[in-house]
Chain A
Amino acid sequence: NAGVTQTPKFRVLKTGQSMTLLCAQDMNHEYMYWYRQDPGMGLRLIHYSVGEGTTAKGEVPDGYNVSRLKKQNFLLGLESAAPSQTSVYFCASSPRVPDVLHFGNGTRLTVT
């Protein structure tokens, strides 16, 4: 079982560039989440989805957009990257709430 797969694993962007992070899960989970993790800040929720076609803002949504067109995929977009978005991004899914989160391996993004 692949579980939760994130692509890419690493990326370097220049300020102002755009990119999309892809999260795919094969566990048929309803709920999916995007977190960012920065040194000394812990995991902070960016956006989440409670089912196909739904999205909602988390704690730090500014500068990001998301889409959940298919149940198994949750995309995180950066329209105009800023150095403050340099971080490690984790996608997670769960079958119900509240319940255990299953995390992907993370995407390490650097914005120069």
Chain B
Amino acid sequence: RKEVEQDPGPFNVPEGATVAFNCTYSNSASQSFFWYRQDCRKEPKLLMSVYSSGNEDGRFTAQLNRASQYISLLIRDSKLSDSATYLCVVDSSGYALNFGKGTSLLVTP
């Protein structure tokens, strides 16, 4: 079983829609969680860290459910510029981070 699993999508949504991505992880000892954004042919960039209490940054909200071992990302009022691949990232209890394969989002006019 892959350590971090995501629905690959693609998610096609109209501008202004709300969209949610989920990610599950297998290592119950993981302590750090992140969402990264990757634009086509570019490097991944941190979107937000995910805290136990949940956190919000503008239109983006991240939640962590340790009991069920999943994290989520909610995007409200989608913009065309939100079109990208969203990577779920979880620490591996070692020196590296494990990346999910990513969820592709396309926001259409």
Q: Which residues of A contact B (CB under 8 A)?
A: 31, 33, 35, 40-45, 48, 50, 56, 58, 90, 97-101, 103-106
Contact = CB atoms under 8 A, between A and B. Distances in A.
Q: Chain B interface secondary structure, helix, strand, loop or mixed?
A: loop
Contact of A105 (B31, B43, B96): B43
A43 B99 contact: yes
Interface string B62-88: 000000000000000000000000010
B97 A101 contact: yes
A27 to B, nearest CB: 14
Interface of B: 8, 31-32, 34, 41-46, 49, 87, 89, 91, 94-97, 99-102
Nearest to B102: A42
A45 B32 CA distance: 17
B78 to A, nearest CB: 23
Given A97-B95, A100-B34, A42 B44 contact: no
A100 B96 contact: no
A97 B95 CA distance: 6
Contact of A40 (B32, B91, B101): B101
Nearest to A49: B95
13 contacts: A33-B96, A40-B8, A44-B99, A58-B96, A97-B94, A98-B31, A98-B32, A101-B46, A103-B43, A103-B44, A103-B45, A105-B43, A106-B41
Contact of A42 (B94, B95, B101): B101
Q: Please give me the 5 A-B residue pairs with the lowest Cβ-Cβ distance, nearest first.
A: A98-B91, A42-B101, A103-B43, A98-B32, A43-B99
Contacts of A103: 43-45
Given A40-B101, A101-B97, 20 more contacts: A33-B96, A35-B99, A42-B87, A42-B100, A42-B102, A43-B87, A44-B99, A48-B95, A48-B96, A50-B95, A90-B43, A97-B91, A97-B95, A98-B97, A99-B32, A100-B46, A101-B44, A101-B46, A106-B42, A106-B43
